[in-house]
Amino acid sequence: MKRLPKITLEKGKEKPLLRGHPWVFSGAVSRTEGDISPGAIAEVYSGDGNFLGMGHFNPHSQIILRILTREREVLDSSFFRERLLQAKALREERLKGKTNAYRLINAEGDFLPGLIVDRYGEIFVLQCLTAGMERLKGLLIDNLVKIFCPKSIYERSDVSTRKEEGLSETKGLLYGDAILKPVEIEEYGCRFRVDVEEGQKTGFYLDQRENRFFLQKVSKGKSVLDCFCYTGGFSVHAGIGGAQEITLVDSSDEALERAKDHVSLNQLRKIPIHPIRGDVFEVMRGLEPDFDIVILDPPPFVKKRAHLVHASRGYKDLNLQAFRLLKEGGLLLTFSCSHYMDWDLFQKIIFSAAVDAKRKVQLLARRGHPIDHPIHLSHPEGEYLRGFICRVW
């Protein structure tokens, strides 16, 4: 085996790795040996000289090493093929017949840090978030083609986090036929058209699929308010579930037009649909309290820990207005997609909003990531989606 570059940690800094965490921060490193370039595979050792693992090294990043394996092994095409097959088995076992759109690779959650692959039927969307995965792009494409036979693979590495790795943003067709927009997908009996080239994230909020399906099961005969509706994913599920009336709110004209298109695509024209363009905070203040279900699915308010106090005020304001708008016995589906907003703080914010709104609230369930967004148990940073389902009196 070719001798690999070597990273040695300061004494005592190996504890997170021994507990299973997949990252090494630059401040924990005592010295490096060998010709280490961004994205190279390197070995990491404790200050006492004990082997700890192998992973992708990047001197430009605060996360200087991302662990791929705790064993000494050859990290060749066969290694990555096996990881892809493990991910494939999980999804096919749990999602077959329910949807043709899901996250195939969820970075650290699938033990492939820096790699995201989303599947939209025969169209795959790939994100390389690290220098290591950028180096392996050709190998990854070859394996995806051999295992899954996709029609096309499109890259959406147009994310700002690549700058932390010394990489520029990039997007474009990597394999196969040119993509005819939009790509149509199905989930739990609902149809959607996805713009994989320009849409939010990789085109669709796949992480909310099971929460949308929950809404479908409780919407019969209900009046529904869908805030931050984007292209109407929650609203369509509510309509398919038999909602009596749906109000959609978003700040984007384009998103609302796409939402209306999805309403038509799913033959929901008989249901009264009320799209409202505007600032959600202001729109909610102007609505009358007459809803059976309110959905709050805002964009990330907390991208840095320093923003947490300000963001908490925003979450409280939204939930306060939702409590005001709900009928007795109504349901609130409220979400945060910010890693720094932990479960305990989010629940305290909702509690505070309920007190100020003078409403009694029952917590019915906590809702998080679906099966295709697994989280590495030793990597809590991978958890970001948190939701509560509340019954209001």
Paired sense of beta strands 152-157 and 123-128, if any = parallel
Is 190 tagged catalytic? Answer: no
Residue among 224, 237, 245, 227 nearest 266 (CA): 237
Phi and psi based region of residue 172 (left: phi greater than 0; alpha: psi -120 to 50; beta: remaining): left
123 φ, ψ to 5°? -105, 125
62: amino acid identity, one letter: Q
Q: Which of 128, 190, 227, 337 is catalytic?
A: 337
Distance, CA of 299 to CA of 32 (rounded, Å): 40
Q: How far, in Å, are 25, 160, 294, 315 from residue 335 at the CA level?
A: 30, 23, 11, 9
Listed in sequence order, the residues at least 6 apart from 256 whose beta carbon sits closer than 8 Å to its beta carbon are 229, 248, 250, 275, 277
**Catalytic annotation, residues:** 337
